[in-house]
Each structure stands twice: as C-alpha cells, then as structure tokens.
Amino acid sequence: MTKAAESKGIAISVMGREFRVAAPAGEERQLLASVDLLNRKMKEIRDTGKVVGNERIAIMAALNLAHENLHTAASTPASPRIERENPASSVVVTIDEAYVKGRISTFESILEKAVSEQEKLF
C-alpha cells in the first residue's frame, strides 16, 4: 500500500486559519479532536491577554499541552510494556501489559455476569 493510500488529507482550522494536513487512515477523528483541544488551549491563552500573536500563542499552547502530557505520564504508575515488531509493516507496537490484562479482566466479568443472568432463565 502506498503512503498516499495510507493517509487522507483533512482540512482543519486553527484559530481561524485554514490548513490541510494528512491523517493516517482511520485516525481522522483523533486528529479533529486534537485540533479541538489545540483551539481551546490557544483561545484560553489568547483570552488571558498576556500573550500576543498567533505564533507565540501556538508555542505556549504546545508547551502547556506537552507539560500536561508529561505530568500525566509521570503520575501514571509504570507498568510492564512489551514491544512487538509487526513484520508486515516494520512498525514496533508497544503493548501495556497491565492495561491489556485489566481490559481482559473487565470483559471476563461482563461475560460472567451475562452468562449468570442467562442461567437464571433456564
């Protein structure tokens, strides 16, 4: 598959300026959610009146978002991560083992509850 087939051009608007950016196939919604978040952060900074100019506002928003991301990552308990290489695409996939085990446990609970409710019917 070619790079052009793997990504899609999306029109976005950041602080009233129009841009066209590439989004990997299937990730268009995440891109638009990111644009929404960026616009909110930039408007928040602009509305304080302390920073003037879209470029400076964009830099401050990027720094704030990066700081929030690092803070969140630092406060999240570390869990074992497993890296797997996908031979079909030469992409390394990182798997959060604790997260996956937690999700499996949640699904098991849901299934057990559903089966239990079904058994009551017979």
Average pLDDT, the chain: 79
8 Å CB contact between 80 and 53: no
Q: Is the pLDDT of residue 4 over 70?
A: no
Predicted TM-score (pTM) of this structure: 0.56
pLDDT tens-digit profile of 24-75?
888 888 889 999 999 999 999 999 999 888 889 999 999 988 888 887 776 6
Which of 28-45 are b and which e, b meaning 16 or more Cβ less than 10 Å from the residue's Cβ?
Answer: eeebeeebeebbebbeeb
> Mind listing the pLDDT tens digit for each residue in 67-122?
888 877 766 665 555 566 656 666 666 777 777 787 788 878 777 777 776 666 65
pLDDT of residue 69: 83
Q: Exposed/middle/buried for 74, CB within 10 Å: 0-12, 13-18, 19+? A: exposed
Distance separating alpha carbons of residues 41 and 52, to the nearest angstrom:
14
